[in-house]
Structures are given as C-alpha cells and as structure tokens.
Structure 1
Amino acid sequence: MFTALLASRRATPCIHRQTRLYAAVSASSPINPHTVGPYRIFDRHAKRRQKDRSALREAGVRSRTVDYVRDEVADRMIERLLDIKRKFSSILDVGSGPGHFSKLLESQTTDKVVMLDSSEHLLCRDPDSDFEVEVERIHADEESLLNVIPPNSQEAIVSCLSLHWINDLPGILVQIKEALQPDGVFLGALFGGDTLFELRTSLQLAEMEREGGISPHISPMADSRDVSNLLGRAGFTLLTVDVDEVKVAYPSMWELMEDLRDMGESNAVIGRRNYIHRDTLAAASAIYKELHENEDGSIPATFQVIYVIGWKPSPKQPKPLERGTAEMNLKEIL
C-alpha cells in the first residue's frame, strides 16, 4: 500500500497495531433527534475551504500524495465490512472525500456506492474509472444528512475519517441511524483523542515557554471509552468498538505539518489563532525531537483510530436468551 508513497515522499509509514475491545451497554436515556441541538466547536466553512484547497493544490497531486493514512484506515475498514456476509444493493459513504473507502468496494459486496461530502472539489477529485462499482456523488454537508438522505432508505452507511470534524457527534449518529433501514449497518472510523499527541504536547510546551500560554492547534476528538455509549444512546444495537493505531515516521515536525495541510486536516477550531510565531514553531520542533525522536533520527506521529459497527434495531435480529434459560451450568464446563 505504501510503495508509491515511499518512492515519492520522505515520510516512512510504519504500522503499529494496538487493539482493545469494549463491551457496549445500551444507555437508559436514548437521544431524541428532535431535541438534540448542535454545539459548535469547529468552523465548518473553514474546513470545507481547507479541503477544497487541498484538492485543488497542484491539480490534486499533493492531495493524492498524502492519501496514505486514509488509504491505510480504509483498507482496515474494508476487512471489517467483508466480515459481514451480506451483499448490499447500495452503500452510502458519508464524508467520503475522493473515495478512499469506496474505491475498495467490489461487485460481490455492493452494486453501487453513494459518496457524500461537503467539499465538491475533493468529492470529484478522482474519475469514476477508479471505482469498480457504480458511483453517485452528492455534494452536501454531512452535518445535515437527513436533508438529502430520506429516513429508512439505506442498507449500509460507512464513514472513513470524517466524523472527527462534526460539531454534533451524538446528533450525526442519530441521523445515520434514522437514515438506515431496519437491520441496516453502520461502519465507521474516526480519529481518537490520542491522535497526534506528540505534536499536541510539543506545541503546548513551546507556547508555554515562548508565549506564556497555550491555544488550541489540534482539534478535540472523541474518547474511545465514550463512543460505545454514544452509539447506544443513538439507538444502535449489536455494537462493536475497537481501537487501532497507525504510526508514521517523518524527518521532522515541518514535514508532518505540511502533510496535514495537504490532507485538509489543518486546524478548524472556532477561535483558533491564524498564525504561530516562527520561533515558537522552531522550539516545538526541537521539543518534538527531544521527547519523541526515533533511533533513526525520524519523529513518530501517532494516529489513533476508533472503529465502530452498529446495527439499526429490527425484529429479525438475534436476541439474547432470557436469564436462567441455559441448559448447562457454566461451572460444569470450566
């Protein structure tokens, strides 16, 4: 997967897996989609412009060069989808970008993929010939999913690394559940709270030293321990949540920040600073190397990824047996 990248980039991606499973318990207070109000953390207009610029820069060449993280996560997501022994007539890809996940879909899995993204330039970056299945593209804001997707209309919905920029994460999970047909499945991947912790701590220490205070440069992200509860409150059943890591090695912090910009992952927090002093960045780069440098002189960047699977309730789904109906004592088996 990374052959082309290694030939053209100075980054050296190396994959480190660290998986933990979380048992999901349905919460007693489900979310009502008609009462949930958005809490604005991110400037969605700024994020759309960042994604547009990344797709247009050098006619999309730079954007394609830095697809390596999303391509790796999409590859791990497709493995989870293939574990579901079902063929779907259509799959909706929410926050699809140019189709990192959709390009991996085969005719044995689905006949059609519907890609939806807020950035029209990123959505249309790659031609239909790059996809094996039929493609439909919808330019719309992911936060207003039910404005363009009818309720109870989708067999499967996926989202590969876009939900971490949603202001109202509980609300979008409710919208996804409402858009699914009964017994429809949602498969998602989003960045977790430990993503880029090396960069976050280095910038904070540098700002404290040089400017006497800190400001947000890395967006707040969901904690893996809370995601299963959010899915349960949104009304999903048969939940699975697991956590993985993708580690990428860079020569220095400067190349990392350049790649984040070309990915369209620049800071979009409301109230963010529009610039960082050059001497603060230089100090952060030195701190990054001092605290996290690899043996070969490169620096690591950790992307924590939370994978989720949830199903919309249906009478056809398997139900656990009632307590006390077992025919054999577990003590006898052990």
Structure 2
Amino acid sequence: MPKIFNSKVKQIQKNRSALNPLSKTVDYLKDNVADRVADRILDIKRDFKTVLDFGCGAGHLIKYLDTDMVQEKLVQYDSCELLMNRDSIDYPDLPGTLVQINNSLKPDGVFIGAMLGGDTLYELRTSLQLAETERFGGISPHISPMVQHQDIGSLLSRSGFELTTVDVDEITINYPSMFELITDLQAMGESNALNLINYTRRDVFMAASAIYSSVYGEQGHIPATFQIIYMIGWKPHFSQPKPKERGSQQYSFKDLDKIKDIKK
C-alpha cells in the first residue's frame, strides 16, 4: 500500500496546534461533532462500563458524556500527548485501524466513530483547482484525500463488524474570507499532511480567494462545508440478531401498501 500521509508532518502540525493560542478558539467543529457522537451513544439502549475514546484530541467527547453513558471508566487515547494535555490517530491506513479497533473490543462491544468525508471543503478544493488550472494548466493536491461515505459500510464489514450503520451530516461554517478558513485549519492541526507537498505561490492563493468569494460567497462571507461520516459497528456475538435466510420473507416490497389488509 503506497504511503499517502506523512505521519511526522502530521505530528508536527498537531504539536503546533496544541501550543497555538488559537487552538481552543477553533474547537467549535470537533466539539460539534463530539456532541453528535454523544447523541448516537444515547440512542443505544445499553449500559457501557468502559469506553475508549480513540483519537480524543483535546478531550472533545468527554464534554458531552455523563454517568448515564459511561458507568465506570473512560479511556482516552491520542497520538499527540501535547494535544491530550491542553486529534485524531496518527493516520495509519483506515482498514487496518478499523481491524485493530475491532480486535480491541469485547464480544458484542460497539464502535461509534466519526470522520471527515470526501465532500469536505469542496469549495476550497474547487477554488484552488480553478486558480491553478488558470495559471499552470494543471492542478496539484492541496487537501488530504478523504474517504467516500459509500465505502464506509464495506470497510466496516471487511474489518469484522456486524450490524453496521452509516449516516452522513454536513456542518457549514461561515468565514470572512478563505484566509481566515486556512488560519483556523492550521490552528486545528488539520493542514495538508500528504507525503508529497506542493507549495503554492502567493498569487495562486490570491486568485483562489477571489474565485472562492465570487463563486460561493454571499453577504460578505464565504461558506466552508465539512461533511461528517458517522459509523456504528458491533463486534460479533452469538446473541446478536441474524439476518433471515434469502427467500424466507412472507411479503414482497410491492405489497407494502397491502400490509394492513394482509394482517387482517
């Protein structure tokens, strides 16, 4: 598998984020996602004695947990000690990470996760691509590749999870201009961490900012869209419900409008 991300660069970015005075002021996105993850925990009618917050960052999820959700122990893990003491894993391959998470769970244990999806920051991506195409006749990658939500279900299944659920949400945040967005991404520790980094000229950034405002801007601000993929998967256990055998159904989907009559 080719090495896409540079883990050393990502570690430097996260360390800088932890030491950045702006770090706490840009927690809004991850806090919002953590709040929505906590809602999904409440949806599961099960008592959890031990919970592992894998990729805890600066402790976003713990702000929304209480004793009704975690009865005995919460374990927090992150690859950046500085960020834990003041966000995410050290960017190994996603399938391998999911397998390791599955292996760490007890039978019938549940994994609830959230990650950025492929449509995240499409406005910024498009603006940079148009600006580079206009000047150089081609484009360079400036935003890390992200998984498409259509692939998450199969990744969870291949990693050994059952009873999987995947849903997608979007969070749109307004900024005065593209440069304030980039500043916040740097303060979050979420800058580009590709193995091959192409440095962008100032005139390209200026052109991209103008395109961003022209194409997407409204009423003195620009929107930035963050696509969040939420996923739930269960470690297999004999007590879990099993799907019915193929062909064992009693009614066809084409008869749904007749179900009430059939029951009578």
TM-score (norm 1): 0.73
What displacement does 1:333 show? 1.2
Which residue identity does 2:76 align to in structure 1? M
Distance 1:278-1:323 versus aligned 2 partners, 3 A rule: closer
What displacement does 1:210 show? 2.4
The structure 2 residue matched to 1:280, chosen from 190, 200, 204, is: 204
Q: Once superposed, which parts of structure 1, at least 4 consecutive aligned residues long, lie more than 6 Å away?
A: none
Distance 1:54-1:320 versus aligned 2 partners, 3 A rule: same
Identity %: 56
SS in 1 for 2:231: strand
The answer to whether residue 224 in structure 2 is matched with residue 301 in structure 1 is yes
What displacement does 1:102 show? 2.1
1:28-64 CA distance string (max 9 Å, x none)? xxxxxxxxxx541111111011011111123xxx111
Distance 1:324-1:194 versus aligned 2 partners, 3 A rule: closer
Contact 1:40–1:167 (CA under 8 A) maintained in structure 2: no
244-253 vs 102-111, greater mean Cα deviation = 102-111
The answer to whether residue 5 in structure 2 is matched with residue 45 in structure 1 is no
The answer to whether residue 76 in structure 2 is matched with residue 115 in structure 1 is yes
Instruction: Show the counterpart of 1:18.
Output: none
What displacement does 1:103 show? 2.2
SS in 1 for 2:14: helix
What displacement does 1:182 show? 0.6
SS in 2 for 1:113: strand
> How many Å separate the matches in 1 of 2:243 and 2:170?
32
**Number of matched pairs:** 255
> How many Å separate the matches in 2 of 1:167 and 1:203?
27
The structure 2 residue matched to 1:245, chosen from 170, 179, 187, is: 170
Instruction: Show the counterpart of 1:234.
Output: 159
Computed over aligned residues only, the root mean square deviation of the Cα atoms, in angstroms, reads: 1.7
> How many Å separate the matches in 2 of 1:184 and 1:318?
14
> How many Å separate the matches in 1 of 2:205 and 2:17?
22
Instruction: Show the counterpart of 1:168.
Output: 93
The structure 2 residue matched to 1:210, chosen from 135, 147, 169, is: 135
Give the unaligned 5+ runs of structure 2. Answer: none
Which residue identity does 1:115 align to in structure 2? Q
Higher relative helix content: 2
The answer to whether residue 17 in structure 2 is matched with residue 93 in structure 1 is no
Task: After TM superposition, list the pairs within 5 Å mapping 1:49-88 onto structure 2.
Answer: 49-58=12-21, 62-88=22-48
SS in 1 for 2:107: strand
TM-score (norm 2): 0.92
SS in 2 for 1:265: coil
> How many Å separate the matches in 2 of 1:85 and 1:45?
40
Instruction: Show the counterpart of 2:63.
Output: 103
Which residue identity does 1:312 align to in structure 2? K
Contact 1:39–1:167 (CA under 8 A) maintained in structure 2: no
What displacement does 1:324 show? 5.5
> How many Å separate the matches in 2 of 1:278 and 1:112?
49
